Amino acid sequence: MAAGAFPLLLGLALTFLESRRDVQRELDATARIILRHAENISEHAWRTVDTLKRLDHQGGGCESLERDLQRIGSIRTYFRSIGLTHGPDVFCSSAFGPMTEPLADVIQRELPSLGRWPLSVAGTTAVRERPAVVFADLAHEVGAYTIVDGQYLTDFMRAIGEPRGYYMTIVIGDGHPVSQGAPPQDTHPLFSPLSDGASSPRISVGVTAPESESVRAWWRVFTAFLPLAAILSALCMMAAAYWLRRKMSYRDEIRRGIARREFSVQYQPIYDIQAGRCGGVEALLRWQRADGRWERPDVFIAAAEAEHMIIPLTRHLFELVAADMAQWQAPRGFHVAVNVAAEHLQGPTFVADVRRLAAQIATQGPRITLELTERSLISDRKEVVRALQTLRAEGVDIALDDFGTGHCAMSYLQAFPLDFLKIDRGFVNAIESLDGDAPVLDAIIALSKRLALRTVAEGVETAIQFAYLKRQGVLHVQGYLYARPMSSDALARWLPTRGCEPLSSTGHLA
């Protein structure tokens, strides 16, 4: 039940956050649209101010300019009125003609200064109940101004924000906010109003969404996510039930898998650099259940070790390898490498199990290589050494796998009789160029030469890695550059053809 509830609870949290991001993105987009509209009006207003200042003022009076002002005011949009000033006073207006009145009285507030400035105001003497925006360029001699009706801004904001209940404001200069909509109230226990804005040097826009918009956005996202959440919930419940069932009965599952012949072996070829052909294979156990599902090797092998089923599983591997090898035509000196676990090494049947495998494949001729992983902790070393020495005397080779990745590498080198040292792919991946430097890898190779051990490099995937290892004196390579793991039938067809071909310096079979 907890596994089933987790995706739903997680979905609630994620959709809550995603819905707020959606609302925030919409607010940001809305604020930018309004800002752009305000900037367009500003640009138009400033062009008009500049046009007014270029009028011929030599006549000195408003009578000679009034017609021009009315013409400009009538053919250009947005304007409530336009006019000319002497210092801070209006002397000519498109709305009232000749006049002498401080501009401060017209816009009903104190002027910022002489010079060039925009300012949003609550109203003007002509239209007190509606906001406006003043664009002025005042001088001691002749200046000019335009008054843009705020209705152009509020109508635009209403068209954009009213369907969503947005509260929007525009402040131009240090002026009065031109607003549209009602300020939202914060009354919801989970959702609160969200705000965003946009600004330019003289214009600031703010947009606030009510809590109802956040609720609406969350419901939209949640209903879209709900089918997926239900599927994830069901999958999690199934996975939890499967995990619990597998944890309780993995020992029986492995036993039944062996009885039902669900296990098979994949073989990854190992390239012999000196011989210029395939020198052996590593046997990799795979498990495909009756319903077609593949179990991950690291999972079922770890479970087999934990459930003390690794010895029966390794014996089954030996049987499968012996049956497969009857189909091959392996060359002389061919090696078949199999992994053995610490529990099996220290068990009383280990030597007998390996001898049985050797007897079963004796007619095919390949040598057996037992791979010891240094991740396995071997406690009874004297008995293991005695068993390995016995098998070596009978023609079995011993390899130390995954060298350098565990906690007991050096002690294993000193304690056990070895023939091969397998270099972990992590060190091979350190090779980046042919002329580069891989000091740890070089040290491992030098150590193996000092101990007279043959080396096998795992995970070789590029021609550069192959050339580097060959130059360093590595004798065998294993990895996707040469060949991927394959079934026994595929290997039987591959060995007489591709398996006899040398690997070129470019990493291709000849």
Under 8 Å CB-to-CB from 293, ≥6 apart: which residues? none
Taken as a whole, the chain contains a residue count of: 510
Residue of 28, 485, 73 lying closest to 65 (CA atoms): 73
CA angle 445/447/451 to nearest 5° reads 115
> Is the whole-model pTM more than 0.75?
no
C-alpha dist (Å) from residue 155 to 44, 130, 261, 439 = 18, 12, 78, 73
Condensed to tens digits (0 to 9), the pLDDT of residues 126-177 reads 888 899 999 999 988 889 999 999 999 999 999 998 888 899 999 999 899 9
% of the chain exceeding 70 in pLDDT:
93
Residue of 112, 172, 182 lying closest to 148 (CA atoms): 172
Dist CA 368 CA 354 (whole Å): 9
Q: What is the pLDDT of residue 200?
A: 92
Are the beta carbons of 299 and 287 closer than 8 angstroms?
A: no
The fold for domain 263-500 equals TIM Barrel (3.20.20)
Which of 8-12, 250-254, 369-373, 467-471 bottoms out in mean pLDDT, i.e. has the lowest? 8-12
Condensed to tens digits (0 to 9), the pLDDT of residues 332-376 reads 789 999 999 888 988 899 999 999 999 998 887 789 999 987 555
CA angle 247/250/254 to nearest 5° reads 165
The domain segmentation of the chain, as residue ranges, is 1-259, 263-500
Residue of 212, 204, 202, 152 lying closest to 182 (CA atoms): 212
C-alpha dist (Å) from residue 272 to 207, 275, 455 = 72, 5, 10
CA angle 132/137/142 to nearest 5° reads 120
Condensed to tens digits (0 to 9), the pLDDT of residues 305-328 reads 888 899 999 999 999 999 998 888
